[in-house]
Structure formats: structure tokens, C-alpha cells
């Protein structure tokens, strides 16, 4: 956006400590990248500020959702433009400031998108504008007007934003350099790559679309960020160790843990045998470590076990690449070894991303239950959806460790194996992480989802983009809802099927071939409901956070991840590609409403689900108001695992 106010000279912009660290590294090793880094720095900061300001309004922090004003840009005493002609005005009385945020769109679930640059004015001199140059300035007014948020959590949140802004600039500047001569749509770049799925993971450079810590990588130097983050496309060598049986807990699907991992990785068993004497081989299990965890944590915290020969190196070479989630890695085609989820002590989007003990232990157990349900239950016949199996898991466990120390050490070393997508997807398909559907090449501008719809429009001979989009979105949404809703209603299983936890497989004509849902770490299970459905949870890990007796928590997990996040981001992106985005967004939500109504009708016709339960959950789906997860409030209140919600308007509600 080119506001007249933006002509202020920003050449004297001072760097934060995190930014200086990154810039110094790039200047020494990649001078052209360092120049690009400086050129995108304000843009990167604005993207973090945007996420914070949008959260303030949407989460009604300090009553700003209720008290903010939406003004026409021509009603302001200064010139400030926006794509909608509307400006958000937030008044901060204790700080004596007014914040002005240009509005780029009005969307479902009370979401108002904004875009930088953002400005402060003095409460007593509204014509004197100050360009907001860092999200820290916004956090300062929050803490001044709401000092109850001050404390360790807000200090950490501040550090997180400083880190996220510096890393956002690294990601944007790398994209700027690598795509500077590339004018193809992002879909064409991905689809013509040797491995469309891997390239789609690498295409998501901005991270989480709503989280202020979207690019948080605390614990990494700039060099480590370059080596280990997905957007920089760098190969990594996984580390393999042999760990004594007495220090492990394992779980596998149908076989012993070691037999699964030996079968998955060619020549690994031979390397394992070379690392151990013949008479001790039966006493050890194989564990895969992230190279960062191997270098930074293993020899720091497990020296005694290494010295006693209970942990040994296995010399085995394999080349993997980071996915968007950082700790999930995958090979590049034509290699078909499993995707791996590994523990790292790196702080990413609000949490240190070690692997909980329940993740590695429960993954195969959840997989077995899902496979049995989908094979037996008629509700899952003839749907275009599957779960990606988690076939084996292992974590460190020393029975002599106690309390928090035991948990910490167990979570730092863990491995989960997940079936490679290319052994599940049909040939000649384009396989994408749905997070990439909203990504685009800045030189071309068209989001991947809209490029797919254009392909489908041409192939299906639709008269308009809008007509093709309704058909495309309905087919896509149905694939998600066909699996998520019956699992929730009938079995009490809430899949966490957000944009990052699925893989969408598309035909060359842009239509959906199949949807795959993955990652069972963050799902929620109504334990009593699953037990009533005939599935025992007695073998689940004793620290299982996924098991709960709170049905509301289970519903919110399914609804937020699938409807608000996954479908919400896609619908927003599709609607923005049309001339009347608000009207078309409502039309797309009407398509989703019809799909959900049809699914409840189908479930009723089986006569296998309690009518009262059906009615209760259905009424929540279509209620006038629905819970929205407060990603920023949770961080300031230091509640990473206990979710905070506000009520927002529900686009699925059928206004009479």
C-alpha cells in the first residue's frame, strides 16, 4: 500500500539485537541477501504487527473489539488509504495514543484483516502521526493500558515477537532473491518441481497466518535457521543412535518397533549391526534425532548414558528436508522412506517443540483405532479421505528419573514415523500441504488455491470463476467434513485437521483427488464416548493429554482446526479473488452449511447415534455464536495448553 505518509525516510531504521545478529551473519556470508534483508525489514515487521493488531480486535483484548471504531478513510484529518476505504481506529487512553490500521477485508468469525503500514497519533493531537516501525510499540500500549498482563509471560511474548520479526525478514528476503526472475504462479512452480509436496511445504514463508510468533525460532542462530527451516530448502542429515532397551518406551503398528524401522530404511539394520557387538544387538532400539538436537542436546544432557555405552552412534546417511513444522522432516522424491517427527528444544509459535511422551507412544494406537473405524463403519465408505498412519514411535525413558526431570528428559529424545505420502497418493497427482494453498509468488500474485480453481474452471467448462469456485470448495470441504464430523459425533474423536495437518492430493485439472489428514499429537478424544463406542483407551500413555472428559474442549478442537482455520482461510482467499468478496464469502459458507446439514442427516439415517447427542452437537455447529481461540491472549496469560476463547459470529448460522 502506497500511502503518502509512507514517504517518511526509513533509511535510518535501527535494528533490534535479533535483526542485527541476522544481518551481520548475512553480510559476512551472503552480501546480496543482506541487502535484500534490509529492504524487506519494515515489511516483515508489519506482518508481525498485523497479526498482533488483528488479534487485539478479534480477541476483544482490553475491550478493543467493542470500543474500536471503523472509519471511512476520507473522514480522517490526514490522508491514509486502504483497499476497502476503511480504517480501524483504536484508542488507548492510558498511553494517550490512537492506533490507525488500514482495513483490507471483512470476513467470517468477526475477522477484520488489516495491512501495514500502521500509525499512532497523540490522543491530544490527532493530526500528528507516527509510523509504527515495530510490533513492540503495539505491545507497549497493550501493557500500559492493561498492566495486569505485565510479567514473565509478556516478557517472553516480547522476545518472541523480536525473534519472529527478524526471522520473517530472513524468510521474505530469501524468497525475494530466489524468485526475483520467476514470474510463474506459485502453483506452476510447485507442480513442476520434482517433489510437489516438499516444494509446497517450502512455499509457506510467512508461517501461521494469525499467530504473532509465526516465524519464532528461539534457540537458533541465523546460520541454524538457514540450515534447518523449510523455507531455505536445505538438505539435512538425520542422526541415528542405538539406545538401550532399558531407556526406551516404544510403540509400533503390527510389528516390533525395530522391525518397522529396519523395514522402512534400507541398509539401516546393517549399520545397526556394525555399531553393536553381536551379543548386544537384541538389547538396543534405533532412534532418529534431529541434527540440531543431536548437536545441542544429546551430548549436553545424556553424557552419563553415552559414557556407559547405553547410547551409541549409528553411522547411517540419509538426506531429509524440513517441513513447515520444522520438526517434521521428509525425503525428496524418488526416495520413499517415512516422514519423521522429531523432538527439538527450539521455541516455535509459542511452545518448545519437544515431543511429548504420549505423541510417540499413542500415535500407532490412534492409527489402529482410526483404521478399524474407517474399515468397519458405513459412514466412512466411499469418502475421499484417509488418515496418514503413524506406524512406530519411541521415546527416551529412564525409570530412575523423577518428576519434571523425567518428563523433560523423556520429551527431548523421541521419534515418530509417519507413512510417506507418495506411497498413499495416486500417480500423477499434485500433493500439497493446505497451508500452501494461500501462498503466492509475490511477482505474480495468484494464490495456489485460485490457480487450482482456474484449472478446474477450464477443465469443467464453468462459465465463471465463481461458479467453478463453489463446486471446487464444496468438493474440498466435503472431503474434510466426511471424516471429521462423524469421528467427532459418533466416536468423540476430534482430529486437529488445520491447514498444516493435512495433505491434499489434486488431479492435474485442479480438482481434488484425495484428502489425507495427519498428526495425532494435538487431537482430543472424549474418552467416555470412545469407550462407549467399543474402543478401549486403557493402553494409552498414562500422561495422555489427548484424552479428556470435557466435550466442549473436544468440539472446539474439531471446529476451530477444520472449520475456522482450514476452511476459513481458504474461503477468505478464494473470496478475495472475486469482485464482490463479502457476498461471495457468504455464499461459500452457505455451501459448507449445506454439507454439514447433509452429514447430520446421513448420520441420523444410520440410527446408530444417540439422538440427543446428535441434536446437541448439531445445535452448536449452527449456533449464532461460536468459540474462537485467542492465540495472543493465551500467550500473554501464559496458557499454552489451556485454551482461551471468545464468542464470535458463526457464518454457519442460518439467519431466519
Stretch 442-451: mean pLDDT, rounded? 97
DSSP letter assigned to residue 217: -
Cβ burial of 482 (10 Å; 0-12, 13-18, 19+) is: buried
Looking at the DSSP bridge assignments, the partners of residue 266 are: none
Distance (Å, whole) CA 144 – CA 92: 9
Distance (Å, whole) CA 118 – CA 6: 10
pTM equals: 0.94
Task: Return the number of other C-beta atoms located less than 10 Å from residue 523's C-beta.
Answer: 22
Q: Return mean pLDDT, the chain.
A: 93
Using alpha carbons, list the distances in angstroms from residue 410 to 176, 403, 568: 40, 11, 37
Stretch 508-513: mean pLDDT, rounded? 98
Residues in Cβ contact with 233 at an 8 Å cutoff, skipping those fewer than 6 apart:
202, 321
Give the pairing type, strands 524-526 and 645-649: unpaired
Q: 441, 181 in Cβ contact below 8 A?
A: no
Q: 39, 173 in Cβ contact below 8 A?
A: yes
Q: In 354-464, which residue ranges form alpha helices assigned H by DSSP?
A: 357-376, 403-412, 448-460
pLDDT for 4 equals 36
pLDDT for 337 equals 98
Residues in Cβ contact with 368 at an 8 Å cutoff, skipping those fewer than 6 apart:
253
Of all helices (H) and strands (E), which one includes residue 613? helix 611-621
Stretch 175-186: mean pLDDT, rounded? 96
Task: Return the number of other C-beta atoms located less than 10 Å from residue 156's C-beta.
Answer: 17
Residues in Cβ contact with 455 at an 8 Å cutoff, skipping those fewer than 6 apart:
187, 508, 509, 510
258-262: long-range contacts (C-beta < 8 A, 24 or more apart)? 258/285, 258/286, 260/391, 260/392, 260/417, 261/286, 261/288, 261/392, 261/417, 262/286
Q: Cis before residue 277, ω within 30 degrees of 0?
A: no
pLDDT for 7 equals 36
pLDDT for 124 equals 86
Torsion of CA 96, 101, 106, 108, to 10 degrees: -60
Q: 374, 452 in Cβ contact below 8 A?
A: no
Q: In 118-179, which residue ranges form alpha helices assigned H by DSSP?
A: 135-145, 152-178
Q: 116, 50 in Cβ contact below 8 A?
A: yes
Looking at the DSSP bridge assignments, the partners of residue 646 are: 628
- Phi, psi (rounded to 5 degrees) for 117: -75, 155
Task: Return the number of other C-beta atoms located less than 10 Å from residue 295's C-beta.
Answer: 13
Instruction: Please tell me the chain's helix, strand, coil percentages from 3-state DSSP, rounded to the nearest 5.
Output: 50, 20, 35
pLDDT for 327 equals 93
Residues in Cβ contact with 467 at an 8 Å cutoff, skipping those fewer than 6 apart:
457
Looking at the DSSP bridge assignments, the partners of residue 329 are: 322, 340
Give me the CATH topology for the region 427-622: Transferase(Phosphotransferase); domain 1 (1.10.510)
DSSP letter assigned to residue 298: I
Q: 78, 119 in Cβ contact below 8 A?
A: no
Stretch 465-479: mean pLDDT, rounded? 98
73-99 CB burial, b ≥16 within 10 A, e <16: beebeeebbbebebbbbbebeebebbb
pLDDT for 1 equals 33
**Tens-place pLDDT, residues 35-80:** 999 999 999 999 999 999 999 999 999 999 999 999 999 989 888 9
pLDDT for 63 equals 93
Stretch 110-133: mean pLDDT, rounded? 90
Distance (Å, whole) CA 200 – CA 72: 38
pLDDT for 266 equals 95
Judge whether residue 101 has pLDDT over 70: yes
Judge whether residue 480 has pLDDT over 60: yes
Instruction: Find the helix packing angle between 31-58 and 17-29, rounded to 10°.
Output: 150
**Tens-place pLDDT, residues 272-324:** 999 999 999 999 999 999 999 999 999 999 999 999 999 999 999 999 999 99
pLDDT for 639 equals 63
Rg (CA), the chain: 25
pLDDT for 629 equals 83
User: How is the chain split into domains, by residue range?
Assistant: 17-174, 233-422, 427-622
**Tens-place pLDDT, residues 568-588:** 999 999 999 999 999 999 999
Least confidently predicted of 147-161, 493-507, 536-550, 641-655: 641-655
Distance (Å, whole) CA 339 – CA 440: 25
CA 313 from chain centre, in angstroms, equals 32
Which CATH number is associated with domain 17-174? 3.30.310.280
Q: What would the grid cell of residue 333 be? A: 522424491
Distance (Å, whole) CA 505 – CA 388: 13
Residue 48 CA neighbour count, 13 Å, CB half: 34
- Sign of the CA dihedral with 478 first, then 482, 486, and 488 last: negative
Instruction: Find the helix packing angle between 152-178 and 135-145, rounded to 10°.
Output: 160
Helix (H, G, I), strand (E, B) or coil at 158: helix
Torsion of CA 173, 175, 180, 181, to 10 degrees: 160
Amino acid at each position: 500500500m502506497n500511502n503518502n505518509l509512507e514517504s517518511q525516510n526509513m533509511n535510518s531504521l535501527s535494528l533490534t539485537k535479533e535483526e542485527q545478529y541476522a544481518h551481520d551473519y548475512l553480510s559476512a556470508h551472503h552480501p546480496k541477501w543482506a541487502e535484500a534483508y534490509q529492504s524487506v525489514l519494515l515489511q516483515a515487521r508489519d506482518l508481525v504487527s498485523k497479526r498482533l493488531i488483528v488479534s487485539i480486535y478479534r480477541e476483544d483484548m482490553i475491550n478493543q473489539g467493542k470500543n474500536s471504531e471503523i472509519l471511512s478513510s476520507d473522514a480522517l484529518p490526514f490522508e491514509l488509504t486502504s483497499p476497502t476505504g476503511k480504517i480501524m481506529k483504536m484508542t488507548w487512553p492510558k498511553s494517550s495514543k490512537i492506533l490507525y490500521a488500514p482495513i483490507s477485508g471483512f470476513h467470517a468469525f468477526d475477522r477484520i484483516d488489516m495491512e501495514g503500514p500502521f500509525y499512532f497519533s497523540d490522543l491530544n493531537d490527532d493530526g500528528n502521526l507516527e509510523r509504527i516501525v515495530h510490533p513492540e510499540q503495539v505491545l507497549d500500549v497493550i501493557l500500559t493500558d492493561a498492566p495486569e498482563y505485565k510479567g514473565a509471560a509478556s516478557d517472553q511474548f516480547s522476545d518472541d515477537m523480536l525473534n519472529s520479526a527478524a526471522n520473517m525478514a530472513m524468510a521474505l528476503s530469501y524468497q525475494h532473491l530466489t524468485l526475483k526472475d520467476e514470474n510463474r504462479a506459485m502453483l506452476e512452480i510447485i507442480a513442476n518441481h520434482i517433489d510437489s509436496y516438499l516444494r509446497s511445504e517450502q512455499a509457506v514463508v510467512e508461517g501461521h497466518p494469525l499467530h504473532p510468533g509465526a516465524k519464532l525460532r528461539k534457540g537458533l542462530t541465523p546460520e541454524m535457521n538457514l540450515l534447518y527451516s523449510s523455507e531455505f530448502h536445505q538438505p539435512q542429515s538425520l542422526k541415528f543412535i542405538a539406545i538401550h532397551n532399558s531407556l526406551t518406551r516404544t510403540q509400533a503398528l503390527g510389528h516390533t518397533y525395530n522391525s518397522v524401522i529396519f523395514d522402512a530404511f534400507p541398509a539401516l539394520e546393517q549399520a545397526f549391526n556394525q555399531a553393536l557387538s553381536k551379543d548386544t544387538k537384541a538389547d538396543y532400539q534405533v532412534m532418529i534425532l534431529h541434527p540440531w538436537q543431536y548437536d545441542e542436546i544429546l551430548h549436553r544432557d545424556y553424557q552419563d548414558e553415552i559414557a556407559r555405552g547405553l547410547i551409541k552412534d549409528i553411522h547411517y546417511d540419509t538426506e531429509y528436508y524440513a517441513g513447515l513444522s520444522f520438526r517434521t522432516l521428509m525425503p525428496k522424491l524418488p526416495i520413499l522412506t517415512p516422514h519423521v517427527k522429531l523432538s527439538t528444544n527450539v521455541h516455535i509459535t509459542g511452545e518448545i517443540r519437544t515431543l511429548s511422551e504420549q505423541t510417540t507412544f499413542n500415535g500407532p494406537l490412534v492409527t489402529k483405532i482410526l483404521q478399524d473405524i474407517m474399515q468397519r463403519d458405513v459412514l466412512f465408505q466411499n469418502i475421499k479421505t484417509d488418515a496418514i498412519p503413524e506406524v512406530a514411535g519411541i521415546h527416551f525413558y529412564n525409570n530412575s528419573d523423577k518428576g519434571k526431570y523425567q518428563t523433560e528428559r523423556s520429551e527431548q529424545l523421541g521419534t515418530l514415523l509417519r507413512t510417506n505420502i507418495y506411497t498413499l497418493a495416486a500417480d500423477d497427482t499434485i500433493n500439497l500441504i493446505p497451508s500452501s494453498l494461500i501462498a503466492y509468488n509475490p511477482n505474480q500474485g495468484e494464490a495456489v488455491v485460485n490457480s487450482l480453481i482456474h484449472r478446474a474452471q477450464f477443465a469443467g467448462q464453468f462459465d465463471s470463476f465463481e461458479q467453478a469456485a463453489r463446486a471446487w470448495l464444496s468438493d474440498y470441504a466435503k472431503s474434510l467434513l466426511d471424516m471429521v464430523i462423524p469421528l467427532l459425533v459418533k466416536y468423540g474423536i476430534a482430529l486437529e485437521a488445520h491447514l498444516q495437518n493435512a495433505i491434499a492430493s489434486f488431479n492435474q485439472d485442479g480438482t481434488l483427488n484425495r484428502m489425507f489428514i495427519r498428526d495425532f499429537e494435538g487431537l482430543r478424544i472424549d474418552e467416555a464416548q470412545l469407550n462407549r463406542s467399543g474402543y478401549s483407551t486403557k493402553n494409552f500413555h498414562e500422561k495422555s493429554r489427548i484424552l479428556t472428559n470435557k466435550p466442549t474442549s473436544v468440539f472446539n478442537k474439531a471446529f476451530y482446526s477444520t472449520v475456522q482455520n482450514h476452511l476459513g482461510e481458504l474461503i477468505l482467499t478464494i473470496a478475495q479473488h472475486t469482485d464482490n468478496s463479502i457476498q461471495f464469502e457468504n455464499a461459500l459458507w452457505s455451501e459448507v452449511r449445506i454439507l454439514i446439514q447433509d452429514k447430520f442427516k446421513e448420520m441420523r439415517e444410520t440410527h446408530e447415534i444417540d439422538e440427543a447427542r446428535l441434536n446437541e452437537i448439531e445445535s452448536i455447529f449452527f449456533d449464532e455464536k461460536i468459540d474462537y481461540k485467542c492465540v495472543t491472549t493465551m500467550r500473554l496469560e501464559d496458557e499454552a495448553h489451556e485454551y482461551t476463547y471468545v464468542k464470535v459470529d458463526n457464518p454457519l448460522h442460518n439467519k431466519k
